[in-house]
């Protein structure tokens, strides 16, 4: 790829200028006041893809526009779908920014602006790499499609609907997503697994009104007491979740995965110091990284009941409630767990209490096999560009769009982020290291070459 590499080197300053041009567009998706900027950003992306000679469509939706583009079809070659988003979070609080959020500024090798790493700078690496191939070689070695949205920060409703209706058009062998971080500075990573989620509201209703705890205590079932027992019953003293059948479908961590996690340069003491604790408990028999990335969990997210003001008020509350969630690992079924949880809590509910369990958003986990030829191709490309082999990690959180791609396209997803954990995503002074930006472009250019060699 010497001609491609030469093009990347020659055009590196212009790539930075182009990125800054897009970053100056305040495409905040959650605030209707920025709708004109959203449209301007969508048009910018569409124009840039058309300029490459790609068949490009700016798709109007009930929400914000989608951009779809594809390269000239090469019969028999693999197809990669690049996903990204041009919308950004609000810049507030503005007084905490060192430089204005929509005036890109370079300091100490970092480009500061809202959207720099989330996700304009990252998805553009896959645009500039295609430009380099087409300009230097006159062709791509495989088929590339783009699906760029403007609602990632507000739930991706328009994209979800489009994906359900146009799965045939989006058909591909793998999905490429760069909207995350490396494991550490200078240590690239491929994320191959995501946990899912099942989120609940639990409300317990007792007497018709708050009662005097002295007059009525002991003769009326206290909803707050019952709630405490119910929540405590969800996890045993060994950190295991007690919902019947909860672990039936859990896929155990393989020895290869556990050995890989153990080799990572992870400082547990520093991790705890960063979040302000002196240690932690969790499921016995698993390390901190294993529990964080690849084991199911139960967490109470909020509690309420009775008197919350200053001082004392001897009240027996009429209601008590909690919000809690399970993080699920691949192969666990949220609907199955919801049914088992509902039956468990109903059996625990004593006389004098009515319980209401509301299931909110849920999604199963996703796991891409480490043996996937697309994962291995990405690993080779990243090592060539970064000079260091990537590590393989999982992510404890959920990315619903990844699950949607998995369900509708049946394609492996390559989560290959070029950012860093300290890029201030969603916070003031968001940044993207220019070195990582250019290494990401180089890795993307090599990715197209490596993916083209994968045989179906």
> How do residues 77-123 score in pLDDT, each as one tens digit?
999 999 999 999 999 999 999 999 999 999 999 999 999 999 999 99
Query: What are the pLDDT digits (tens) for 385-431?
Result: 999 999 999 998 878 889 899 999 999 999 999 999 899 999 999 99
SS3 114: coil
Residue 385 structure tokens: 């560009």
DSSP codes joined into one string, 296-345: -EEEEEEEEES--SSS---EE-SEEEEEEEEEE-TT--HHHHHHHHHHHH
Instruction: State residue 398's pLDDT score.
Output: 79
Residue 160 structure tokens: 């979800």
Query: What are the pLDDT digits (tens) for 4-16?
Result: 999 999 999 999 9
The residue-averaged pLDDT of 15-42 equals 98
Query: What are the pLDDT digits (tens) for 37-82?
Result: 999 999 999 999 999 999 999 999 999 999 999 999 999 999 999 9
Q: What helix, strand, coil percent values describe the chain, rounded to 5?
A: 40, 25, 40
Closest listed residue to residue 3, CA positions, set 137, 93, 114, 110: 137
Residue 253 near residue 298, CB atoms below 8 Å: no
Q: Which helix (H) or strand (E) holds 122?
A: helix 121-137
- Taking each helix axis from N to C end, the angle separating 223-233 and 334-348, rounded to the nearest 10 degrees, works out to 130
- Considering all CA atoms of the chain, what is the largest pairwise distance in Å, rounded to the nearest integer? 86
Closest listed residue to residue 418, CA positions, set 142, 126, 195: 126
3-state SS string for 175-200: EEECCCECCECCECEEEEEECEEEEE
Q: What is the dihedral sign for C-alpha 33, 36, 39, 45?
A: negative
Query: What are the pLDDT digits (tens) for 209-264?
Result: 999 999 999 999 999 999 999 999 999 999 999 999 999 999 999 999 999 999 99
Instruction: State residue 1's pLDDT score.
Output: 82
Query: What are the pLDDT digits (tens) for 255-300?
Result: 999 999 999 999 999 999 989 999 999 999 999 999 999 999 999 9
Residue 197 structure tokens: 């989620």
Q: Express as a percent the part of the chain with pLDDT over 70.
A: 100
């Amino acid at each position: 790829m010497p001609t491609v590499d030469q093009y990347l080197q020659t055009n590196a300053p212009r790539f930075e200028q182009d990125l800054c041009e897009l970053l100056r567009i305040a495409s905040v998706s959650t605030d209707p006041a920025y709708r004109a900027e959203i449209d301007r950003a969508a048009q910018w992306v569409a124009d840039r893809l058309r300029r490459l000679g790609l068949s490009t469509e700016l798709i109007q939706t009930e929400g914000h526009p989608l951009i779809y583009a594809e390269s000239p079809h090469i019969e028999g070659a693999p197809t990669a779908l690049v996903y990204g988003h041009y919308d950004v979070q609000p810049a507030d609080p503005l007084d905490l920014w060192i430089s204005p959020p929509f005036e890109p500024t370079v300091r100490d090798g970092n480009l500061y602006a809202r959207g720099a790493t989330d996700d304009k700078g990252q998805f553009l690496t896959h645009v500039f790499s295609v430009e380099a191939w087409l300009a230097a070689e006159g062709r791509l070695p495989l088929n590339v499609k783009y699906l760029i949205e403007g609602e990632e920060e507000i739930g991706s409703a328009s994209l979800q609907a489009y994906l359900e209706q146009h799965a045939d058009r989006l058909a591909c062998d793998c999905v490429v997503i760069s909207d995350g971080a490396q494991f550490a500075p200078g240590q690239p990573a491929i994320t191959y697994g995501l946990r899912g989620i099942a989120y609940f509201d639990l409300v317990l209703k007792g007497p018709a009104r708050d009662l005097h705890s002295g007059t009525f205590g002991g003769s009326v079932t206290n909803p707050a007491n019952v709630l405490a027992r119910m929540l405590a019953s969800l996890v045993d003293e060994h950190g295991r979740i007690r919902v019947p059948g909860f672990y039936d479908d859990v896929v155990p961590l393989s020895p290869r995965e556990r050995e890989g996690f153990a080799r990572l340069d992870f400082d547990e003491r520093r991790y705890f110091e960063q979040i302000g604790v002196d240690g932690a408990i969790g499921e016995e028999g698993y390390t901190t990284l294993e529990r964080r990335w690849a084991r199911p969990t139960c967490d109470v997210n909020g509690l309420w009941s009775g008197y919350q003001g200053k001082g004392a008020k001897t009240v027996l509350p009429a209601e008590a409630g909690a919000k809690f969630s399970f993080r699920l690992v691949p192969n666990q079924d949220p609907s199955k767990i919801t049914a088992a949880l509902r039956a468990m809590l109903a059996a625990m509910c004593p006389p004098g209490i009515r319980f209401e369990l509301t299931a909110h958003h849920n999604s199963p986990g996703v796991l891409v096999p480490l043996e996937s030829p697309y994962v291995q191709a990405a690993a080779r490309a990243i090592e060539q560009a970064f000079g260091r082999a990537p590590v393989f990690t999982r992510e404890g959180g959920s990315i619903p769009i990844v699950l949607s791609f998995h369900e509708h396209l049946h394609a492996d997803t390559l989560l290959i982020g070029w950012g860093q954990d300290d890029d201030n995503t969603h916070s003031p002074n968001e940044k993207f290291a220019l070195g990582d930006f250019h290494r990401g472009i180089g890795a993307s250019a090599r990715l197209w070459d490596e993916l083209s060699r994968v045989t179906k």
